[in-house]
Structure 1
Amino acid sequence: MLAIMSVRISCVSVLLPLVAVISGSQIKIINGEDAAPMSHPHQVSLQWNILAAIGFPGERWFHICGGSVIRKNVVLTAAHCAEIASKPAELKVVVNDHRLFDVDDTEQSILVKEIILHEDYIPGQDYDNSVYPNDIALLRLVGEVADSSSIIQIDTEEDRNRTGQTCIITGWGLNDTNSATPNILQQREMKVISEKECEELWDVEDSFIFKGHVCVFDGPNNTTGGAACSGDSGGPLVCDGVLVGVTSWGRTGCRVPETGEFLPSVYARVSYYYGWIQTTLQRWSIGRG
């Protein structure tokens, strides 16, 4: 299910989108911590009905990615998450979830009605050496979220420099290389770094971080550092209560295997795509049925 791409990187040879179809346990993600119940109400679990995907009747849903509620019937996620489905009905979002594999009596499951991938999204590496460029998608839902507090404000300040700012990443992604999904939603504070520093840390021969990306990093140390991992894709990067990024890609295995060290996690920069988001939402509001 996971596409691995080779890119021209001297210190590491492969990258991986942070999406996975996985079963669960109660182990934490890489150096994260349990989030308090309902502390990140915008976070959704994006789930895929495997049986529908292979043409069988019935339902068997798997968590594959995260996402964020930005309107009462719209979720923002990564394009590489949404493209997994051949038709929208194969996907649903679970809102107000906390324990992924338990019933908390707070969850609301809503099927997806329409998927819009960014028109210039390219899986993997494009010819200008960008990796997962325009990795962003909107999901229009069949119903509306019951709790309006689940809606998060999106970042509109494209020119704002957030370098050095401490922000929060959340998700049910793997706790480590070849490990398991946590039951409880995980969170971690991470620092935003500049595009230049991000490229230097990845040690690339040619630039592939551009203005549509935002990177977070908390140092390479294999004990104190951290990273998003498979299953976190599409999930939020939040700064000062505003949705700044959508989890896109990182190192295969989420660590450098030889040392266990970390590299930056890369997100689609929401403010860069604000115009595209607004255009799509306006088109829907006109009344496409």
Structure 2
Amino acid sequence: MRCRIARALARPLVLAAAAAAIPLMSAAPAAADSIVVGGFPVDVSESPWTVALSSRDRFGGTRAGQFCGGVAVGPTTVLTAAHCLGEDVLGAPPDRISDLKVIAGRTALLSDQGREIRVRDTWVNPDYDGASNAGDFAVLSLTEPLPQDSVVGMAAGGDPAYRPGTSAFVYGWGDLTGVGDYALSLRAAPVQVLSDALCEEAYPGSADGTYLAESMLCAGEEEGGRDACQGDSGGPLVAQGKLVGLVSWGSGCGRAGSPGVYTRVSDVMRTLGWGTARAPRTGV
């Protein structure tokens, strides 16, 4: 359930504009009966802060232009993954994508539910490192506000929501099976927060990336089967009712021993100087 370009190889999980019409294959497909790699369908009312990033000009109308996920942390402020806004994904800098929008309040991508809101400004973390995948976050400022009840609180450093073993949910419209079977309706997958030691062992440093506990969070199941996949990058990982992670990268979808890696939201808050559980209304 991620949004990387080639998650099966070393994934930030997005759909590249040039390959949007071509199913992306995984080197190790998830189980055939998995849904959002171990998930289930949900109505957006259960996770109203989950939004889709859209550009029909770049990705066509088959999926309403959806190419990544995002999460509303303020009425006009959305967090997503930095790699979602890369030129290798969009084909141009984000400020040159004239139809870049956030789709909010919509369960089925092709329905007329909810709103499509234009993005006014984008800010991509200048310290994002594409080699290690550290600092994988960006901020979108919207032209119109979302309702306050469509905003999720964020877990600051030291919050018990980050403890290993904590139950969490990841949300998105990404690949259901790891072989290019993309969802048209919102899905959620139950996962658990995993220990930093386990994730450091899984990703000690390779072409996939390097797990860095101070800026990353690991979640999934040790035996595999529940995970994010391509199309989900930038989407929310929520534990104890708070945002703890943004879908970022990993190796394959739902593989045993290769859990999903998320941008740690407490590090985002520290970097941006957001000292409270909610972002400033005006974003960065």
TM-score by length of 2: 0.79
Equivalences for residues 70-85 of structure 1 within 5 A: 70-83=73-86, 84=90, 85=92
Is 2:69–2:80's contact at 8 Å kept on the other side of the alignment?
yes
Q: Which runs of 5+ in 2 are unaligned?
A: 23-33
Shift of 1:283: 11
Alignment match, 2:107: 98
Q: Structure 1 CA distance, aligned partners of 2:268 and 2:76?
A: 19
Is 2:50–2:70's contact at 8 Å kept on the other side of the alignment?
yes
Residue identity over aligned pairs, in percent, reads 28
Q: Structure 1 CA distance, aligned partners of 2:73 and 2:44?
A: 20
Equivalences for residues 38-187 of structure 1 within 5 A: 38-50=45-57, 61-83=64-86, 84=90, 85-88=92-95, 89-103=98-112, 105=113, 107-123=114-130, 125=131, 131-145=132-146, 147-158=147-158, 160=160, 161-187=162-188
Is 1:227–1:262's contact at 8 Å kept on the other side of the alignment?
no
Q: Structure 2 CA distance, aligned partners of 1:38 and 1:214?
A: 26
Is 1:28–1:181's contact at 8 Å kept on the other side of the alignment?
no
Higher relative contact order (CA 8 A, sep 6+): 2
Cα gap change, 1:197 to 1:262, in 2 (>3 Å): closer
TM-score by length of 1: 0.77
Q: Structure 1 CA distance, aligned partners of 2:43 and 2:264?
A: 26
Equivalent position SS for 2:45: coil
Q: Structure 2 CA distance, aligned partners of 1:109 and 1:266?
A: 29
Equivalences for residues 237-276 of structure 1 within 5 A: 237-252=237-252, 254-255=253-254, 261=256, 263-276=258-271
Shift of 1:28: 3.8
Cα gap change, 1:262 to 1:111, in 2 (>3 Å): farther
Is 1:23–1:181's contact at 8 Å kept on the other side of the alignment?
no
Radius of gyration: which is bigger? 1
Alignment RMSD, CA only?
A: 3.3
Equivalent position SS for 1:38: helix
Equivalent residues, number: 256
Shift of 1:19: 0.8
> Counterpart amino acid of 2:262?
Y
1:20 aligns with 2:27: no
Equivalences for residues 230-241 of structure 1 within 5 A: 230-241=230-241
Shift of 1:275: 2.6
Q: Structure 1 CA distance, aligned partners of 2:193 and 2:283?
A: 34
Q: Structure 1 CA distance, aligned partners of 2:159 and 2:46?
A: 28
Q: Structure 1 CA distance, aligned partners of 2:270 and 2:212?
A: 20
1:198 aligns with 2:228: no
Q: Structure 2 CA distance, aligned partners of 1:239 and 1:76?
A: 17
Q: Structure 2 CA distance, aligned partners of 1:90 and 1:132?
A: 27
Q: Structure 2 CA distance, aligned partners of 1:35 and 1:285?
A: 28
Q: Structure 1 CA distance, aligned partners of 2:140 and 2:94?
A: 12
Shift of 1:112: 0.8
1:213 aligns with 2:216: yes
Q: Which of 28, 36, 39 is residue 32 of structure 1 equivalent to?
A: 39
Equivalent position SS for 1:196: helix
Q: Structure 2 CA distance, aligned partners of 1:152 and 1:250?
A: 25
Q: Structure 2 CA distance, aligned partners of 1:37 and 1:87?
A: 26
Q: Which runs of 5+ in 1 are unaligned?
A: 6-11, 126-130
Q: Structure 2 CA distance, aligned partners of 1:102 and 1:262?
A: 37
Alignment match, 2:31: none
